[in-house]
């Protein structure tokens, strides 16, 4: 590959790293073109499966500020750059690997850090964002206090949303007693002024 082509390839891969919500590094040793085409179809429109030389991927990762992939870049490497729901792409890769032993998941990158093979597997086990939001909405209708507990570690962003809503509700409920106490204090002040009025009149 000519130097200019390498520079272009590095920048293209770096751009994909920057624009991806997650990236999954795989080895595709032994997969045919037909199988690779089937894998790309399984990943859908929200992920791009890119075969690349390890040296180019290393340079691109450095340019994009992606750390921790060096140990994964051994053997024939292809990376799934995910722009949609990471769990959906992880599921597609996991399911394809079950039927095609030539595909090996070696790790990934998401939220500013490298992912282990086990973490990619955990990602594949997560439900989609739409399903989580539907569950959250149902929990909100049933009992707001249960919403935060429904979404534990796997969906931290949804749990934070539920907690924020719970805190907001607690604040609004706490404001009502405070308003009642202020009203009582004002009523006491009015009573004092009325009791002093006859004394002024008598004088």
Residue 195 included in any domain: no
| 109 and 154 together in one domain | no
| 107 and 153 together in one domain | no
pTM here is 0.64
| 19 and 42 together in one domain | yes
Residue 196 included in any domain: no
| 109 and 136 together in one domain | no
What does the DSSP 8-state code read for residue 151?
A: S
| 69 and 87 together in one domain | yes
- pLDDT confidence of residue 193: 42
Residue 36 included in any domain: yes
Phi, psi of 137 (to 5 degrees): -60, -40
Residue 197 included in any domain: no
DSSP string spanning 156-203? HHHHHHHHHHHHHHHHHHHHHHHHHHHHHHHHHHHHHHHHHHHHHHH-
Give Rg (Cα) of the chain.
Answer: 29
| 8 and 103 together in one domain | yes
Residue 194 included in any domain: no
| 22 and 113 together in one domain | yes
- Read off the CATH number of the domain in which 72 is found: 3.30.70.1730
Structurally, the chain folds into a number of domains equal to 2
Distance (Å, rounded) from C-alpha 169 to C-alpha 165?
6
Question: Among 97, 125, 153, which residue terminates a domain?
Answer: 125
Residue 67 included in any domain: yes
Edge-first strand listing for the sheet containing 113-115: 47-52, 77-82, 22-27, 104-110, 113-115
- pLDDT confidence of residue 196: 44
| 57 and 69 together in one domain | yes
| 81 and 117 together in one domain | yes
Residue 21 included in any domain: yes
| 11 and 93 together in one domain | yes
8 is written with which tokens? 């272009």
| 21 and 75 together in one domain | yes
Domain that holds residue 12: 3-125
- pLDDT confidence of residue 118: 96
Q: With residue 129 as reference, give the H or E element that holds it.
A: helix 129-142
Q: Which residues contact 128 (CB under 8 A, 6 or more apart)?
A: 85, 87, 88
- The pLDDT profile of the chain, 203 residues, written as one tens digit per residue, is 778 889 999 999 999 999 999 999 999 998 999 999 999 999 999 999 999 999 999 999 999 999 999 999 999 999 999 999 999 999 999 999 999 999 999 999 999 999 999 999 999 998 655 555 665 666 566 655 555 555 554 555 555 666 766 777 777 776 655 555 555 545 554 444 444 444 444 43
- pLDDT confidence of residue 192: 45
DSSP string spanning 70-128? GGG--SSEEEEEESS-HHHHHHHHHHHHHH-TT-EEEEEEETTEEE-HHHHHHHHHSPP
**Cβ–Cβ under 8 Å, residues 151 and 162:** yes
Question: Among 101, 125, 149, which residue terminates a domain?
Answer: 125
Residue 201 included in any domain: no
| 114 and 145 together in one domain | no
């Amino acid at each position: 590959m000519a130097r200019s082509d390498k520079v272009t390839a590095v920048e293209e891969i770096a751009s994909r790293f920057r624009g991806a919500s997650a990236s999954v590094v795989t080895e595709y040793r032994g997969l045919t073109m037909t199988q690779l085409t089937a894998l790309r179809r399984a990943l859908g429109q929200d992920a791009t499966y890119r075969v690349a030389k390890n040296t180019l991927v290393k340079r691109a990762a450095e340019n994009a500020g992606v750390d921790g992939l060096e140990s994964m870049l051994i053997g024939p490497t292809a990376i799934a750059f995910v722009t949609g729901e990471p769990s959906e792409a992880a599921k597609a890769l996991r399911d394809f690997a079950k039927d095609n032993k030539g595909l090996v998941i070696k790790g990934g990158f998401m939220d500013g850090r490298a992912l282990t093979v086990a973490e990619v597997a955990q990602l594949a086990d997560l439900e989609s964002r739409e399903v989580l939001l539907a569950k959250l909405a149902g929990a909100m209708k049933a009992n707001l206090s249960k919403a935060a507990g429904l979404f534990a570690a796997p969906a931290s962003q949804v749990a934070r949303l539920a907690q924020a809503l719970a805190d907001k509700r607690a604040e609004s409920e706490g404001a009502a007693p405070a308003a009642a106490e202020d009203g009582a204090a004002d009523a006491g002040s009015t009573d004092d002024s009325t009791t002093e009025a006859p004394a002024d009149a008598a004088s």
